[in-house]
Amino acid sequence: TNDHWHLTHCNIHNKLSGKSLDLAYEEREVEKKKRKQVVTFVTLTTTDFNGTATTQRFSLGISRTWGLLSEETGTNLFKTKTGNSVFSPRNNIDHGIDFMWQRRRVFRNGRLLGSDGKFYLRDYSNRTNLWHPRDCSITNADAAGVNQYLAINNGELVMI
């Protein structure tokens, strides 16, 4: 059995700012084989909470390190060779970005995620960087890799 639990279909919300993690679509002109093309990049940002926006739904871990998976694109957040962060299929980008929960904060490489979606040096006295997963399902993959969901059935906690 997989002992790594996940939160799926989550809105990751900052109560103080009213913002949630969201996707930003950016068109950039890139040169490929001496020809310029317009390519759409998907990055992480924060916007006002919208409970129905699929761009604000992510899967993430509960413990240990975890990647941030966009439920809209089906891709994880990666760091490019130039240092930017984009959601992309695994084979196109070099390094996946690992996160951890630490005191209700999203933690990465000694930095905490601020309410504006940028990472800052650790400052636990700053209460504006508290994040709350909302409207999530709690899952754990079975031996075949199929997600099972934690639920309450007839007053008992069960996996379905």
Q: In the predicted model, what is the mean pLDDT of residues 7-25?
A: 94
pLDDT of residue 28: 84
The pLDDT tens digits for 45-89 are 999 999 999 999 999 988 788 889 999 999 999 887 777 788 987
Residues 144 and 1: their CA atoms lie apart, in Å, by 9
Cα 13 to Cα 18, 52, 93, 111, 136, distances in angstroms: 7, 13, 27, 18, 12
pLDDT of residue 94: 60
Rounded to the nearest integer, the mean pLDDT of the chain is 86
Q: Is the pLDDT of residue 92 over 60?
A: no
Q: Is the pLDDT of residue 1 over 50?
A: no
Q: In the predicted model, what is the mean pLDDT of residues 84-103?
A: 78
Strands (DSSP E) along 35-109, which ranges?
A: 35-48, 58-61, 69-70, 76-79, 85-88, 95-96, 100-102, 105-108
Sign of torsion, CA 141 105 50 85?
Answer: negative
pTM equals 0.83
- Encoding tokens for residue 89? 């299929």
